Structure 1
């Protein structure tokens, strides 16, 4: 039986964290807890990998990213037939000229669809983040995931993880927490935000 009532309103869970921190693993456990009939997971690489324009193209690259992202929001968040679904997105946005605007698109889509919006920030100690980034497991699946630890070190050093200033969210330090436990904490927050008890 699903842990949320089928007739309960859907919400959008926006999981943000640096590359390699464990977002997808936690999100996968969360969707398992929610049940396949209730939850839909969209990993950020499902929105990045289809882009054929090189990043060096600058504005054209980001415009194509936005086009693909907006199509996903239309199909999975705004579509009337998806209204009772919990839509879980993973992302990796930092403070800067691009990140806040991208993250705001997810919040805007949630509001437009009448969904609750739950930002979740996954962090871990830098050394553990480096270890996870270089793991053999991360390299599987053929996705264009960042695997260069030196690049990650630069991102963490120079770029602050984006967090919504005016939207209540959940912060989870995943350094030593099991992914399934982190997922359970998010599930409790979902129950709270959509007004459900145990």
Structure 2
């Protein structure tokens, strides 16, 4: 399946996604970080089209809001999954604003040199003006990670992914 993880910047998407392989050892997980994609659409199609088998998950982390552009980009993930013959599972990570701001200013994020957003005022403004994009036609997973460390959030998510996979059989 293609696991599409959508959350506001600083929520912990990458940190949580990096914990999943150890918690889901029965499957390999290929992680696609939107910060590493130069030509997003071409990269997405190529990387999701990795030979598909049921022992291989593809996990994409992203932030898309509920505006027109966010909806368009989110649909590209869904289309790429369909074209690759993969089931598509949207995952929405929620995080309270205060905790989100704390995580955004964590020393590891600030010093990472990845170009990730670290401006808490910009985050607060963004969160006041928009919401996460959510697919209306697909049931996704919702996980509130506010009070959870990355490993705990990933463990909760791994259980939900397993339940979803069982329901898809």
TM-score when normalising by structure 2: 0.89
- Alpha-carbon RMSD: 2.0
Misfit runs of 4+, over 6 Å: none
**For the Cα contact (< 8 Å) 1:76–1:82, is it kept in 2?**
no
- Tell me, yes or no, if structure 1 residue 14 matches structure 2 residue 4: yes
User: In the TM superposition, what is the alpha-carbon distance from 1:156 to its structure 2 partner?
Assistant: 0.2
Which residue does 1:114 correspond to in 2? 85
Aligned residues: 167
**For the Cα contact (< 8 Å) 2:34–2:40, is it kept in 1?**
no
Q: Secondary structure in 1 aligned to 2:122?
A: helix
**For the Cα contact (< 8 Å) 1:12–1:88, is it kept in 2?**
yes
Choose which of 24, 28, 34 in structure 2 pairs with 1:44. Answer: 34
Choose which of 15, 23, 27 in structure 2 pairs with 1:25. Answer: 15
Which residue does 1:59 correspond to in 2? none
Which residue does 2:153 correspond to in 1? 182
Gap runs ≥5 in structure 1 = 1-10, 51-67
Counting only pairs closer than 5 Å after superposition, residues 1-198 of structure 1 correspond to structure 2 as: 11-35=1-25, 38-47=28-37, 50=38, 68-79=39-50, 81-83=51-53, 84-195=55-166
Output the CA distance in 2 between the equivalents of 1:181 and 1:130: 19
Larger CA Rg, structure 1 vs 2: 1
Output the CA distance in 2 between the equivalents of 1:108 and 1:134: 34
Q: Secondary structure in 2 aligned to 1:176?
A: coil
Gap runs ≥5 in structure 2 = none
User: In the TM superposition, what is the alpha-carbon distance from 1:15 to its structure 2 partner?
Assistant: 0.4
**For the Cα contact (< 8 Å) 2:21–2:27, is it kept in 1?**
no
**For the Cα contact (< 8 Å) 1:130–1:152, is it kept in 2?**
yes
